[in-house]
Amino acid sequence: MAWVMSQSGKEIMNCVAFRIKRLEGYKKTFIEGQISNSDTFHILGEFDSEDEAISIFKELYKTLSSSENPSFDFSKQLPRT
C-alpha cells in the first residue's frame, strides 16, 4: 500500500495497485490507482503521451519500492494537465 497525492493536489489516496490506461475517446493516457478495500480504480494523473505516462509510472515504482513508508505525489510531476 502507498499513500498517493493525485495530480490535482486535491486528493490523497491509499492505493494497493496501479495501472496505465488509455480510455476510448480521450487523447490522454492515465495512471490509475486502486484504493484499499475497493475494486475501483481512480485517476491519479493524466498525460499527453503514453511514453510520458510510462516514464512517470517507472518513477512511481522506483519511489514506492525503495521506501518503508511509500508515498508518491503526482501533483509534483510535470507537466501538469
Residue 16 has, within 13 A of its CA and on its CB side, a CA count of: 6
* pLDDT value of position 5: 80
Enumerate the β-bridge partners of residue 18: 33
* pLDDT value of position 79: 52
* pLDDT value of position 21: 94
Enumerate the β-bridge partners of residue 43: 32
The cell 507537466 sits on which residue? 79
Q: What is the pLDDT along the chain (81 residues), one digit of tens a residue?
A: 788 888 888 888 888 899 999 978 888 999 999 988 888 899 888 999 999 999 989 988 888 888 777 888 888 775 544
* pLDDT value of position 55: 92
